[in-house]
Amino acid sequence: MKKIEILIVDDKLENLITLEEILDDLPVEIITTQSGNEAVAISLEHEFAIILMDVQMPEMDGFETMKLIRRNELNAYTPVIFLSAIYSDDFYKIKGIEQGAVDFMTKPIAEKILIGKINVFLQMYEQKKTLEQKMKEITMLNRDMQHFSQILAHDLKQPLTGIIGFSELLLTDDKILENEENHSMLELLHSSGKFMLEIIKDAIDLIKTQNEMVVYEPIDADLLIAEIADSFKTNTEHKKLEFQQDKLPRFISSRSLFRSMFRNMIGNSIKYNENDPVKITIHYRLNNGFHEFDISDNGIGIPAEKQKEIFQPFKRANENSKYEGSGIGLSIVQSALEKLDGSIEVKESGASGTTFMMRIADRGGQ
């Protein structure tokens, strides 16, 4: 692994030798130069963790040298410590700090203080490089996930849509349906296709949620949930839906993540429910810096042993095939809440239904 590099700039050779001896025990590669012009040229090819710079030098002083080094992206934010035996008064110290130096030390140098300061900047540099590497890994992962999402959307979703449409067409053909076996096979093909399509749609939503850039804006929770509830009332067949909710606030959050969370929560309350009407209640409170929503339904309930694992992808509260669902919805909700510095848990569950508590960090806006 390449060593961390430090640049020392001083026109006097004896000063360079002294500084190299002081820093000899540090796990770094030391590069030295006696010229400001040469320092600028070197900085174009090397990224330094820290630069030690003499102020008074012929041709180009330390202030001008630092200004030119800062123009290069590699060292635009590299910490610079000015060293001077002549310019020791506050005027030059302030000038150095104003031009972007992190410190101004007078010669003769206090060795232990200098080493202590350099060690701090070396740790900061290592943390910066670690963070940069993590960001690269995250970027690559996001690209892979986006590519996978495209495969799901195009290579799998589109053919399935065609299969479902074709099976629906065949199910209207009386001649084909005269054969009971044909009818059963077509029904199975149609229902399996719809189930697979739901899994693909939910998987795409999960990937989008995990990779979505959070955009914070004022939202009206009352209005958003009313819109979601109305959409379910319009599209839900056979069952009547009854919604009750507290007066909900306006606050700062992500509109798209909020809508996704409640669409999945309400959708699950309908799917895993044998009652007619389906009853859904939402209670709200602001508690210790969090917006807390209790979402209750009169559904089938969740067994105690499954109340933690249901937030994992493809884990369902009930494996009975009569309950439609991909097992991804609650994973989408949890991912969205994590991006909003929140959480979700099963508050209580039994034969009379389930109550989830969702918590969203407060960012103001009420």
pLDDT value at position 167?
Answer: 72
Task: Judge: domain 213-366, CATH 3.40.640.10.
Answer: no
Q: In whole angstroms, give the CA distance from residue 51 to residue 42.
A: 12
**What is the DSSP secondary-structure string of 74-116?**
GGTT--EEEEESS--SHHHHHHHHHTT-SEEEESSP-HHHHHH
Contact 258, 221 (CB under 8 A): yes
pLDDT value at position 317?
Answer: 63
pLDDT value at position 134?
Answer: 77
pLDDT value at position 135?
Answer: 72
What separation in angstroms does the CA of 355 have from each of 163, 268, 295, 349?
38, 12, 5, 6
Per-residue pLDDT of the chain (366 residues; tens, 9 = 90+): 678 999 999 999 999 999 999 999 999 999 999 999 999 999 999 999 999 999 888 889 888 998 899 888 889 888 999 888 776 666 666 776 767 678 888 788 888 999 998 999 898 888 888 877 877 776 666 665 666 556 555 555 666 676 677 677 777 777 766 777 766 776 766 666 665 666 666 666 666 666 667 788 999 999 999 888 888 876 656 578 888 999 998 999 989 889 888 988 998 888 888 888 889 999 999 999 999 999 999 988 887 877 788 777 666 665 544 555 556 778 888 888 988 999 999 988 877 889 999 999 998 765
Q: In whole angstroms, give the CA distance from residue 201 to residue 364.
A: 33
Residue among 30, 39, 48 nearest 11 (CA)? 39
pLDDT value at position 348?
Answer: 83
pLDDT value at position 7?
Answer: 95
CATH superfamily of 4-109: Response regulator (3.40.50.2300)
pLDDT value at position 282?
Answer: 94
Beta bridge partners of 9: 33, 53
pLDDT value at position 202?
Answer: 60
